Amino acid sequence: MAESTLRAAQIAQTLGRELRGPDRDITGPGTLEDAGPESISFLANPKYVSQLSETSAGTIIVHADQADKAPHGAALIVSPNPYLDFARVLVMFMKPQGEFKGISPDARIAPDAVLGKDCTVYPFVFIGPRAKIGDRTVLFPGVYVGEDCELGEDIIVYPNAVFMAGTRIGANTIIHAGVVLGADGFGFVPGAGGIEKIPQVGIVSIGKSVEIGANSTIDRAALGETRVGDGTKIDNLVQLGHNVRMGKDCLIVSQVGISGSTHVGDRVTMAGQVGISGHLHIGSGATIGPKSGVARDIPENETVGGAPAVERGTYMRTLALMPKFPDMYKRLGQLEKELAKLKEELAAKP
């Protein structure tokens, strides 16, 4: 629900927070640095408290501890979690992408595809035979929905995303531009006449309230399903191989690659550019540090780093010592010389 002007008191009430100072008109959100008298801003990190005293923002969401640092005359919304409350304010002002409504005559939709109520289908969308599209789902230009796909309700699919045959997507999921779901898994077997392709006859199944970032790719299963659980958020340029199964509420940062048949639990966090080998189990609650290469199972709730990844404490200790390595090498050579000299001296003693 995008609004053009709201009052500070309205917002405070919706958030269930106390308003201190004057009520004010608010036309949109901004950072403490950029915001003006009709903007709402926030302070989450006490490290930036100096910005608070200098801001021109008319309305500020702030923790009670910092409220006294705010400029006189500002409307303050006092919150135990200013970042979360600011996110909710953003929703109030947010305008969804795209203004087209209805089913474009320039889309090509198979006669036996089934569209729910109030769907939006932009020009240049292709929907294949027997596909089902849930109520209020939006397909931007250039989207390809293969035969037998099943998309739930309130899904947003941004331009040029591709769903190969049989892909299933749960309600409220967001698919960003250029995503490819259901391309063939990378399955080959050496045959007499060279490398033979193993047909990939499974599908991709995405849960509810998932988000998949631009140009990410998730391959169909060789047999059965490649799965992403409800609430999981995947960033841009991520690759999930065939038969990966990922649980709920995971956060997978950009350029991560997960090889085939690896199972990932719930609430797992993977930082950018992580690589995971195939056929592994990553326990629920695990955290994988940036650029890690994981070549073994990871227990529940363990934090790992490095390539190959080891438990975080070991990794950090090793890292801290790395710059000392050249010095250690010298010291080792020095020790050997001194020991040899000592031996000689000892031999010379009576």
Instruction: Examine residue 25 and tell whether it contacts a second copy (CB under 8 A).
Output: no
Q: Measure Cα distances from 62 to 7, 67, 90, 91, 148 in Å.
A: 17, 6, 15, 18, 50
- From 63, 72, 176, 242, the catalytic residue: 242
- Which 154-173 residues touch a second copy, going by CB under 8 A? 158-160, 162, 164-165
Which residue in 126, 283, 297, 299 binds a second copy (CB under 8 A)? 126
Rounded to a whole number of angstroms, the distance between the first and last alpha carbons of the chain is 96
Residues whose CB falls within 8 Å of the CB of residue 256, separated by 6 or more in sequence, listed in order:
235, 238, 239, 270, 272, 273, 274, 275, 276
Closer residue to a second copy, CB minimum distance, 21 or 82: 82
- Nearer Cβ to a second copy, position 20 or 56? 56
Q: Which of 248, 240, 253 is nearest to 265 (CA)?
A: 248
Residue (23 or 311) nearer to a second copy, CB = 311
DSSP string of 90-123, one letter each residue: HHHHPPPS----SB-TTSEE-TT-EE-TT-EE-T
CB of 211 to a second copy, least distance (A): 7
**Contact set for a second copy, span 230-249 (CB under 8 A):** 231, 233, 235-237, 239, 241, 249
Quick one: 119 or 240, whose CB is closer to a second copy? 240
Contacts of a second copy in 59-118 (CB under 8 A): 83-84, 87, 90-91, 93-94, 97-100, 104, 106, 108
Do 289 and 268 contact (CB within 8 A), yes or no? no
Q: Is 275 in the site for a second copy (CB under 8 A)?
A: yes
Beta carbon of residue 206, minimum distance to a second copy (angstroms, whole number)? 15
Beta carbons of 158 and 140 less than 8 angstroms apart = yes
List the structure tokens of 57. 């923002």
Judged by beta carbon, residue 68 or residue 99, the one nearer a second copy is: 99
Judging by DSSP bridges, how do beta strands 188-191 and 194-197 pair with one another? antiparallel
Q: What does the alpha-carbon distance between residue 82 and residue 72 come to, in Å, rounded to a whole number?
A: 19
Q: How far is the CB of 29 from a second copy (least distance, A)?
A: 6
Nearest Cα neighbor of 183 from 200, 158, 159 is: 200
Nearer to a second copy, 68 or 212 (CB): 212
Q: Which stretch binds a second copy (CB under 8 A): 6-14, 52-60, 72-80, 123-131?
A: 123-131
Residue type, 38: E
Residue from 56, 254, 284, 303 touching a second copy (CB under 8 A): that is 254
Look at the block and give the residue holding tokens 């940036």.
290
48 sits near a second copy (criterion: CB under 8 A): no
Alpha carbons 51 and 347: distance in angstroms, whole number: 72
Identify which of residues 75 and 294 has a Cβ nearer to a second copy in the complex: 294
Which residues ranging from 180 to 209 are in contact with a second copy (CB under 8 A)? Answer: 180, 183-184, 186, 188-189, 191, 194-199, 201, 209
Query: Is 279 a catalytic site residue?
Result: no
Per rule CB under 8 A, is residue 257 in the interface with a second copy?
A: yes
Q: Residues with Cβ < 8 Å from 314, sequence gap 6 or more?
A: none
Q: Is 337 in the site for a second copy (CB under 8 A)?
A: no
Distance (Å, rounded) from C-alpha 265 to C-alpha 302? 12
Binding mask 284-313 for a second copy (x = CB under 8 A): ------xx-x-x----------xxx-x---
- The residues annotated as belonging to the active site are 242
